[in-house]
Structure 1
Amino acid sequence: MKPSIPQVSAPSDELIEKMNAWWRAANYLNIGQIYLKANPLVKEPLTVDHIKPRLLGHWGTSPGLNLVYVHLNRLIKQYGLDVVYMAGPGHGGPALVANVYLEGSYTEFFPEITRDEAGLLKLFRQFSTPGGIPSHVSATTPGSIHEGGELGYVLVHAFGAVMDNPELIVAAVVGDGEAETGPLEGSWKGIRFINPERDGAVLPILHLNGYKISGPTVWGRESDENIARFLEGHGYEPHFVEGDDPAAVHRDFAVCLETAILKIQAIQKEARENGFTTRPVWPAIVLRTPKGWTGPKVVDGLPVEGTFRAHQVPLSTVRENPTHLKMLEEWLHSYRPEELFDENGTFRADLYALAPAGDHRMGANPHANGGKLTIPLDLPDFSDYAVPVPSPAKERIESTRELGKFLRDLYKRNPHNFRLFCPDETNSNRLGAVFEVTDRCFVSPLIAIDDHVSHTGRVMEVLSEHNCHGWLEGYNLTGRHGLFATYEAFAMVADSMSMQHAKWLEHCRHIPWRKPVPSLNYLLTSTCWRNDHNGFSHQGPGFIDNLINKRPEVARVYLPPDANCLLSVADHCFRSTNYLNAIVIDKQPQLQYLTMEQARAHCARGADIWTWCSNCPPDEEPDIVLACAGDIATQETVAAAWLLRQHLPSVRVRVVNIVDLMALPPRDKHPHGMDHTDFVRLFTEKGHVIFAFHGFPGVVHQLIHGRPDQDRFHVRGYIEEGTTTTPFDMVVLNKMSRIHLCQDVIRHVPRLAGEETRLLQATEDLLQKHRRYVREHFEDLPEIADWVWTD
């Protein structure tokens, strides 16, 4: 049944006039933030001394953002709505700051920015200045969870925020420049995953002002008919508002926005009372207003309002050009600030009354400070999923399959605040146990042959890393927990998103009122070493490189070698807040090394000596240290230690396994870093270390920078050699095989010099045997493929 909504009428002329006054005030505050360092209410003639030396900021999008804000205020008050505002346009910061200041929430978070003339001056002076706030919507902007620095993600963040948030509406303003990005283009499909019975709603507002920084936008030049067809094809019901006359646009937009809100409420009411079988047609708004609306129309004989010239600073030489300075003064006076602020510089009381109260103000909405709402996960005891390991390196299992069982029960115990996000790879990554308790979410037509697909499913599969990452960001930032599982190589698709999220978390650490939010957890599987069937395109561990360069306060990388370590690490990550946690482990059957008790202790230390495969007591000096980080790197290292026992039993070998990659740096470089004493305990003071690493070798060298005698570390890892080949051939191609590790030992243990030629030749012969065998039989040598540790 199509839900019906009542006919909507425009607000009274008196209310429209007050809303227009709020809008004028917000526009005025935008300009003040860009230009003024003194004389905030222009009570005296404007002079060069009142102007900032550097004019930074973006004016063009701000009037439209301000218009949306004041109209949302009216409906929040009228209907008691719970609304978060997300500004997609990249540099809409001054607009959002202006509005949260007018509604009073800004002063509550920043008491020094008082609601008077002195506070206005501080508000203006802090904008885009040293020690102040940035020009985009950032962590310092109350009411925001959407970082405006990089374009393309406003809708995915919005959809993630409303999942399992039934009363929340996110008004997501999509700039027409942003609409050109690939991630935004792919994000419209999010409504196909929103269940109106249990989720909130996203109201997209496509704000078309026609121009980017120096040219026209694609959607700005499209007809309403084409835009309508596009939105209808994605399942939206478009509503259009266009104009440049403020009074008319206020009336039209008021009717349009209220109609959309009532449509959302009707859809949800119908679904929650009667269920649904067909995906709802959700409203979307297309708002066309001039770029830089109400700003200078012509400057130096060139049109500005309604053109790309209004994008940033319409009057850019006011300190040098008296004519421009005069134009700025007239522009500021055009908003009649004396009618908006009283003699003390306080926003007029009857206009301030337009704002909702308390937490209903969009700047104070607790969903935009999600740590206030976070409920810790009810975690099962991970030791209940322990894999028996009676002897190390003898049995092979799929470690991620054991994690899948843990996630299954995590879903059962947390039915409303945990979700798995995965690009169509849940079963492929051996996490399919979750389908014992839930399905894939798909709010579109279902057919009989679908496998674990339903409208009520809570596994979020969509073949887009951008959508998965963005949904999880929105979910985390509104206080909920999740896991993003993806093939290792394709985590790079969303690497820029991880960078932006890391910056957000870094900034939040220095904002006292920002409460910690659940960590963004990655499971990177189908790794470079075991994509033998997919080949070179799927072989790339570069996400680790990028993550370790994030600030140490937020970046964590874990390389569990087996199932029990994986479970211990996952439990830790799900309990943490304000981190980006990357867990890297393959999905294929792999050797198991540690009991659960051993794994728990090993993961707590982050790195330690494995005495069971070393032949040198921990308190004695070894001839060589074999270090490893990563599942395949560990396998090859342990196998190398075994080979050395067979062929060079006199060589004293110490094996060190690293599960927490961030244990390698000095402690002053990362909070997980080892102190010098522990580092020497593991790696000796001056001895050679042969290090097998999961990723690019340079990562290890970067992390140990600052340690003494770094040249003694000889790192082998992925060196961009790959193809469709066997598992062992991959480590051979990248020179990280057990054979190459043994060759390194031979080269770096001085007392073996007399045997070097013979032993190196023997290992080269083994490599040649391997190469002939795999090309003839298309599989690895049995003594390699079936190898296990024997005493």
Structure 2
Amino acid sequence: MDTTQPGLDTAPLDDEELARIDAYWRAANYLTVGQIYLLDNPLLREPLRPEHIKPRLLGHWGTSPGLSLIYAHLNRCITARGLDMIYVTGPGHGGPAIVANTWLEGTYPELHPSVNHSEEGMKQLFRQFSFPGGIPSHVAAEVPGSIHEGGELGYALSHAFGAAFDNPDLTVACVVGDGEAETGPLAGSWFSNVFLNPVSDGTVLPILHLNGYKIANPTIFARISDEDRMSYFRGVGYEPFLVEGDDPAAVHQSMAATLDACFDRIAEIRADARRRANGQAVRPRWPMIILRTPKGWTGPAEVDGVPVAGTWRAHQVPLSGVRTNPDHLAMLEAWMRSYRPEELFDATGKPAPELLDLHPRGAQRMSANPHANGGLLLRDLVLPDYREYGQETEGHGRTTGEATKVLGKWLRDVISANPDRFRLFGPDEVESNRLGAAFETTDRQWQADVYPTDEHQAPQGRVMEVLSEHLCEGWLEGYLLTGRHGLFTSYEAFIHLVDSMFNQHAKWLKTTNAIPWRRPIASLNYLLSSHVWRQDHNGFSHQDPGFIDHVINKKAEVVRVYLPPDANTLLSTMDHCLRSRQYVNVVVAGKQPALQYTSMDEAVRHCERGLGIWEWASTDEGRSPDVVLACAGDSPTLEVLAAADILRQTLPRLRVRVVNVVDLMRLQPDTEHPHGLPDRQFDTVFTADKPVLFAFHGYPTLIHRLTYRRTNHENLHVRGYKEEGTTTTPFDMVMRNDLDRFRLVIDVIDRVPGLGENAAGLRQQMEDARHAAREHTRTHGEDLPDVAGWEWPH
């Protein structure tokens, strides 16, 4: 088929089918306009008056007619072909259109009985939209059938592909707004077809909704030539079909014919792939649709002497002065009556029978599809006993191991035990982050060319690697929201690229916690390695621990942050995270060889507590200490223990308590976070009046934020990362940020009452030790052997 032609000339709809689908579309448009404007008089039983209009007009009309046109035609295909389909709305600000379709399908009234198929129900439908106490103006968690938060643009296509992975019978129709298509994440998402296996995965049908304008500017795809636009999509691996026009009847026929052609082509691709399943894989050229219709189609053509329909002025609310301008009010009424509502709804406000007969039934409705409420399909992971994978240790702080490498062996077997519902996602870093054991049981999924020099690239695999944090995040979110499990591994500094995506997902979780019909989904799990303290060759650009600060801004009911200090605590932590639901879990762990501090039994108990006193490293002997040395993170833990060792040797009468924190949220009061420690228990561990020196993995201010309400906060002194970095040795890095063992000993001398004048010589020794360590690094390019090779003494 020559897809450079404007479209398909066939007319598959007979007169009756054409009339019915057009009526359904008109009904959706009528309901959309009503949601934007009306408080009352939903069926226009009387002329519109100002009191029928909302005082604040919020919503987006421009994209809505196209969204409803697509929805109506997809319903036809679902019914005719028995498709299992969900609808991802990229231009999610077109929320009233999707809400209108879910109401017509009957799903919305089923979930909200007061918003039923009646005149009063329609009134409530209109009133609740973008209204205090109602629902948002975009496609949000409150909208049945949605998995994609429409408040932010750029991620629809990655969510759609994430939903399709491991869902071989699912079709995901993904509408991409032409303004949204200009975003970097969306531009990268077109290449997701390189990773979609037509045998084991579902189908994504992208539909570029080309209506020409953003809020106030033209869109790029609308202003480049047809040849360039078609060449672009063929270049990224699609077979593009064009549907365009402004005559409803012609567009309906073209859309029906094009969807028929697309689904026929999809069936051919899948059948061919299954015939080849045991032979050479061939990357298919999947169909996609470019739908080019006017912005604000069927709305007011001109308002106050300027064009509106087909321009950027139709983007939001075409008639803005309806309450105060009689001409605008009259135009609104004429606009709504142009849809002929008397033909669409009976006297009670119920949709006409021919409309109710058009949409699919039950779970085949896109708004009722269980894949769009993934908790309904969620199955627990089969998790091997992590205790059997533990790092063998000889005492505390005397065995060297690689935490993420140990974890990788467990994850390898998690993948083996869950071949249809668990995947690793990451930007080309599985091997780099020492999780390469996964490749003992799986490959990287890849549908493009494979060279003899490649390793672990295959049409089917459980590892998803692409050099885009946005794409990894979007895939994983789509995968989780449709009922599966996964883990996102990333370098710590670059996870910031998905800050806004994390925001939206955390808000989704917080919102769905209060929606009874939304079932809990598997948690979004991050493993951040290659962290700030061990960027020995990458340097300052790779040194940023601030993602955890960003995460902790979100609601306590949703977020969790863990800093396991060694391999065994990492295993215990990750087992907990993969079992959890409705959280965002952030785990920070090093990948470099490092000392191990806990046996497996100790790690289990320590992680259950979340924080605890390490009696083996303390000298307070269960009595009130003179000072508390606290730590969170593997490198800070090393420095605290080395400082405690120095104090043990040089100030044997000083009572030192060492406290390690795994679960950062334990530092908050229990009134602020479910994991928080009650004040009495916190004071028992950290004391109510003694100096507390806290060595922290990240920015010091975060610990103060978490503990500012505690009794002893004024005695809390935090050392952490303070934006001093470069390409240097591990110990020089902690020295640059005053987190090193010698600096911590100096802090103890300076802050323990009465100690300073009695330990002046030791203080000077520590200053000299810092100087010597720096000079050695500058001379030899490596840390002092006594520092680099330090172990906890017998």
Q: Report the TM-score, using the length of structure 2 for normalisation.
A: 0.98
Range with greater deviation from structure 2 (720-729 or 758-767): 758-767
**In 1, are the aligned partners of 2:687 and 2:712 still within 8 Å (CA)?**
no
Q: Within 2, Cα distance between the matches of 1:482 and 1:51?
A: 47
**In 1, are the aligned partners of 2:174 and 2:204 still within 8 Å (CA)?**
yes
Q: Secondary structure at the match of 2:423?
A: strand
Q: Secondary structure at the match of 1:640?
A: helix
Superposed CA offset, 1:408-456 (max 9, x none) = 0001100000000010011100000000000111111111111111111
- 2:49 is the counterpart of 1:39: no
Match of 1:128 in 2: 130
**In 2, are the aligned partners of 1:163 and 1:194 still within 8 Å (CA)?**
yes
Q: Within 2, Cα distance between the matches of 1:111 and 1:273?
A: 48
Match of 2:369 in 1: 365
- Equivalent residue in structure 2 for 1:764, among 758, 762, 767: 767
Return the offset for 1:761. Answer: 1.5
Q: Within 1, Cα distance between the matches of 2:259 and 2:223?
A: 23
Q: Secondary structure at the match of 1:750?
A: coil
Q: CA RMSD in A?
A: 1.0
- 2:462 is the counterpart of 1:419: no
Return the offset for 1:9. Answer: 5.2
Q: Which residues in structure 2 correspond to 1:618-697 (within 5 Å)?
A: 618=622, 620-697=623-700
- Equivalent residue in structure 2 for 1:448, among 418, 437, 452: 452
Match of 2:558 in 1: 554
Q: Which residues in structure 2 correspond to 1:286-305 (within 5 Å)?
A: 286-305=290-309
Q: Within 2, Cα distance between the matches of 1:500 and 1:688?
A: 40
Q: Secondary structure at the match of 1:751?
A: coil
Match of 1:248 in 2: 250
> Letter of the aligned partner of 1:629 in structure 2?
A
- Equivalent residue in structure 1 for 2:177, among 175, 178, 182: 175
Q: Within 1, Cα distance between the matches of 2:323 and 2:115?
A: 26
Return the offset for 1:269. Answer: 1.6
> Letter of the aligned partner of 1:393 in structure 2?
G
- Equivalent residue in structure 2 for 1:70, among 51, 57, 72: 72
Q: Which residues in structure 2 correspond to 1:224-373 (within 5 Å)?
A: 224-275=226-277, 277-373=281-377
- 2:460 is the counterpart of 1:480: no
Match of 1:215 in 2: 217
Superposed CA offset, 1:667-711 (max 9, x none) = 010000001121011101111100000000011001112212311
Return the offset for 1:617. Answer: 2.0
> Letter of the aligned partner of 1:378 in structure 2?
V
Superposed CA offset, 1:176-235 (max 9, x none) = 110010100111000000000100011100001111111111111122211111101100
Q: Which residues in structure 2 correspond to 1:77-96 (within 5 Å)?
A: 77-96=79-98
Match of 1:395 in 2: 399
Gap regions ≥5 residues in structure 2: 1-7
> Letter of the aligned partner of 2:66 in structure 1?
G
Return the offset for 1:753. Answer: 2.5
Match of 1:704 in 2: 707
- 2:378 is the counterpart of 1:374: yes
Match of 2:748 in 1: 745
Superposed CA offset, 1:270-304 (max 9, x none) = 21233252100000100000000000000000000
Q: Secondary structure at the match of 1:207?
A: strand
Return the offset for 1:8. Answer: 7.0
Q: Within 1, Cα distance between the matches of 2:227 and 2:244?
A: 14
> Letter of the aligned partner of 1:525 in structure 2?
S
Match of 2:504 in 1: 500
**In 2, are the aligned partners of 1:164 and 1:417 still within 8 Å (CA)?**
yes
Return the offset for 1:590. Answer: 1.0
> Letter of the aligned partner of 2:556 in structure 1?
P
- 2:3 is the counterpart of 1:11: no
Match of 2:4 in 1: none
> Letter of the aligned partner of 1:603 in structure 2?
C
Q: Which residues in structure 2 correspond to 1:585-600 (within 5 Å)?
A: 585-600=589-604
**In 2, are the aligned partners of 1:137 and 1:146 still within 8 Å (CA)?**
yes
Q: Report the TM-score, using the length of structure 1 for normalisation.
A: 0.98
Return the offset for 1:111. Answer: 1.4
Return the offset for 1:756. Answer: 4.2
**In 1, are the aligned partners of 2:11 and 2:254 still within 8 Å (CA)?**
no
Q: Within 2, Cα distance between the matches of 1:11 and 1:90?
A: 29
Q: Within 2, Cα distance between the matches of 1:492 and 1:587?
A: 19
> Letter of the aligned partner of 1:63 in structure 2?
P
> Letter of the aligned partner of 1:295 in structure 2?
G
> Letter of the aligned partner of 1:170 in structure 2?
V
Match of 1:3 in 2: none
- Equivalent residue in structure 2 for 1:439, among 430, 435, 443: 443
Superposed CA offset, 1:340-379 (max 9, x none) = 0000000011111111010000000000000000010000
Q: Within 1, Cα distance between the matches of 2:268 and 2:411?
A: 35
Q: Secondary structure at the match of 1:626?
A: strand
Q: Secondary structure at the match of 1:96?
A: helix
Gap regions ≥5 residues in structure 1: 1-5
**In 2, are the aligned partners of 1:8 and 1:259 still within 8 Å (CA)?**
no
- Equivalent residue in structure 2 for 1:383, among 372, 384, 387: 387
> Letter of the aligned partner of 1:270 in structure 2?
D
Q: Within 2, Cα distance between the matches of 1:595 and 1:715?
A: 28
Superposed CA offset, 1:498-520 (max 9, x none) = 00000000000000000000001
Q: Secondary structure at the match of 1:739?
A: helix
Match of 1:410 in 2: 414
Superposed CA offset, 1:691-737 (max 9, x none) = 00000001100111221231111000000110000000010001101
Return the offset for 1:338. Answer: 0.7
Q: Secondary structure at the match of 2:526?
A: strand
Superposed CA offset, 1:577-631 (max 9, x none) = 110000001100111001111100110110000000001123x110000000001
**In 2, are the aligned partners of 1:88 and 1:178 still within 8 Å (CA)?**
yes
Return the offset for 1:749. Answer: 1.0
Return the offset for 1:650. Answer: 1.2
- 2:549 is the counterpart of 1:540: no
**In 2, are the aligned partners of 1:400 and 1:430 still within 8 Å (CA)?**
yes
**In 2, are the aligned partners of 1:564 and 1:596 still within 8 Å (CA)?**
yes
Return the offset for 1:755. Answer: 2.6
Aligned length: 785
- 2:494 is the counterpart of 1:490: yes
**In 2, are the aligned partners of 1:397 and 1:592 still within 8 Å (CA)?**
yes
Match of 1:614 in 2: 618
- 2:597 is the counterpart of 1:575: no
Q: Secondary structure at the match of 2:148?
A: coil
Which runs of 4 or more aligned residues in structure 1 lie more than 4 Å from their structure 2 counterparts after TM superposition?
Answer: 6-9
Q: Secondary structure at the match of 2:229?
A: helix
Q: Within 2, Cα distance between the matches of 1:270 and 1:11?
A: 29
Q: Within 2, Cα distance between the matches of 1:181 and 1:326?
A: 39
Q: Within 2, Cα distance between the matches of 1:631 and 1:371?
A: 35
> Letter of the aligned partner of 2:756 in structure 1?
A
Return the offset for 1:11. Answer: 1.6
Q: Secondary structure at the match of 1:655?
A: strand
**In 1, are the aligned partners of 2:683 and 2:711 still within 8 Å (CA)?**
no
Q: Secondary structure at the match of 2:46?
A: coil
Superposed CA offset, 1:114-134 (max 9, x none) = 111110000000001111000
Q: Secondary structure at the match of 2:217?
A: coil
Match of 2:198 in 1: 196
> Letter of the aligned partner of 1:721 in structure 2?
E
Q: Within 2, Cα distance between the matches of 1:40 and 1:108?
A: 20
